[in-house]
Amino acid sequence: MANVRLENVCKIYKGGVRAVTDFSLDVKDGEFVVFVGPSGCGKSTTLRMIAGLESITSGNVFIGGKYMNDLEPKDRSIAMVFQNYALYPHLSVYENIAYPLRCHHVKGEEIDKRVKDSAAILGIMEYLQRKPKELSGGQRQRVALGRAIVRQPQVFLLDEPLSNLDAKLRVQMRAEISKLHEKLGATFIYVTHDQTEAMTMGDRIVVMKDGFIQQVDTPTNLYKHPANVFVATFLGSPQMNVFRGELRKKKEDVSFYSEGDSAFSVPLNPLLLGQLENDSFPLKTKLGVRPSDVTLSETGGIAKAKIELLEKLGDQTLVYSHLSGREDYLIATVNGENDFRAGQEVSVSFRKGKLHLFDGKSEESLTEGKPLCFLDNANGYYLSLTQMETLEKRLIEKGRSSKILAVPTAAISLAKANGDDLVLSLALDCQRDYGGRSVWFCHETLSGKGVSFSLPSLEKAKDPSLPFQAFVQLKDIELIDEGTKTKLTDVEPLSAPTSKGELSFRRGGCFMEGDGRINHEKTYIVKRINRLGATDLLILEGSKSKEKLAYLVPDSALIYVSMLVLFRKKIHAKKGD
């Protein structure tokens, strides 16, 4: 058996048609990888370059570690199965399957054994003496597969093998090909334009568009974490609803506002958008929500909509209506036993935590690939008492505590750095590459909780069946308020108790009016700002005394540190001052 490696593979056809650009992929030994994308996106061309049926304009192909670019198809230890299964009509099923072996001058006894073994695997023993015209479409496709199996190739390349079959047979053959893959344990690369085929068959899916790879991942991860609007809308049926609009930030609250008349808004968890700088707002954005994550009710919700059409599918009903920001219908899937009717006005809501945000221009995801991970420290599950004590020294307001730990993904590493590192026991689900770094999607072995982090791509992948340890430095962990999802900890132990204050900018400088310090006339310098959510934590240092003070102020609007702050008695600022 063999792995398949493509390095920066490009294909430009005569006449300048650029069919495939910079295609790099590692298909593991025994893996079932599906290439999916709309017609003309370069799937077949890529497969044919692996097979040696098409020359490679630039880049390298390796099979089983061997350089393949210059080898003839027959020397590549691959077998191809096409949509058009091209059986020889004048030969029996037996002879059709035996044909490639006869071409390779295999001995008669060996041929007989291999043909019968292949026929047994595919359940076509009883048809061996029939001619192709005496077979059904499904049986003929099995013979074509038999002709591939009999050669005992290391890699199977299948190009839309089921598209000539009717819908029912396709479903049946889908399952049979998956079973065949399991039985043979060989590497399978399968091309289809059908997203259902891709989702049901692939260990991993390569989504392609216009000759470029869009995303490579497991079916579940592609569905849950699409990297861009194309992937989000290509996979999943009915399609994801996508709204045009913008993200706006008011103080620390971020909301999506749809475009057009009767705009609606959706509040978002700002932690999801941690990587967006304040000056990015307002930001043209597309909001995606899957039909199964749209709920319809009589009251509440983010907007009202009139039902225009219902499609009853039995256990499910598709409800079509309109919302601003989307020219097309808003589709919601609801339980088949519902009382909705056309013309009815309903309240629309989107399920929390199920929203997808994409940049309005590039259409790349604003949230995927850079997640924070949250761990529930109920009953000291992750942190020991001493670790907790260390963390509590960073608590901004004494006495407040939370079970939720926020772990920035960049803080997770595979090497222990300090004695008090937090240890996570993880199992790898999949990896996704982003130019030089790869994001590891794992789950925590005891709780099953998803944990993801990124490492340089060079880091060797772990065996998915074996748990491994990852480490997080205690200094990188923060406590998060369970309810409001705001930060409760500072990045350093706090040397002074926190006071509450308010900043005002007046002629002559920046003034702090703070409780307990109203008589100060001293000047301080802002040494550090920690934005916590709705408030900012300012660490101030006395200009002369070097005394440290910690102040919580609502949305300070300070954008730089080392700013001079003067303490004043309560000042009653006039409007417009």
Residues that bind ligand ADP (CB under 6 A): 13, 17, 19, 37, 39-45
**Cα–Cα distance list, 449 to 15, 100, 150, 444, 452 (Å):** 52, 50, 44, 5, 10
**Cis ω on the peptide bond leading into residue 238 (within 30° of 0)?**
yes
Cα separation, 84 vs 81, whole angstroms:
8
Nearer to ligand ADP, 53 or 91 (CB): 53
Q: Do the Cβ atoms of 454 and 371 come closer than 8 Å?
A: no
Q: Do the Cβ atoms of 340 and 307 come closer than 8 Å?
A: yes
Q: Which token pair is 324? A: 């601003």
Nearer to ligand ADP, 45 or 431 (CB): 45
CB of 51 to ligand ADP, least distance (A): 12
Nearer to ligand ADP, 39 or 545 (CB): 39
**Which residues are CB-contacts of 75 (< 8 A; sequence separation ≥ 6)?**
none
CB of 91 to ligand ADP, least distance (A): 29
3-class DSSP state for residue 158? Answer: strand
Nearer to ligand ADP, 159 or 444 (CB): 159
Q: Give the amino acid at 300.
A: G
CB of 70 to ligand ADP, least distance (A): 20
Between β-strands 523-531 and 468-472, what pairing exists: parallel, antiparallel or unpaired?
Answer: unpaired
Query: Residue 161, Cα to own-chain centre: how many angstroms?
Result: 28
CB of 37 to ligand ADP, least distance (A): 6
Query: Residue 503, Cα to own-chain centre: how many angstroms?
Result: 41
Cα separation, 85 vs 88, whole angstroms:
9
CB of 48 to ligand ADP, least distance (A): 8
Q: Which token pair is 13? A: 């056809």
Q: Do the Cβ atoms of 331 and 318 come closer than 8 Å?
A: yes
CB of 2 to ligand ADP, least distance (A): 23
CB of 217 to ligand ADP, least distance (A): 19
Nearer to ligand ADP, 10 or 404 (CB): 10
Nearer to ligand ADP, 46 or 367 (CB): 46
CB of 13 to ligand ADP, least distance (A): 3
Nearer to ligand ADP, 10 or 91 (CB): 10
Strand order of the sheet with strand 212-217? 78-82, 155-159, 187-192, 32-36, 204-209, 212-217
Q: Which token pair is 229? A: 């609007």
Nearer to ligand ADP, 39 or 299 (CB): 39
Cα separation, 577 vs 566, whole angstroms:
17
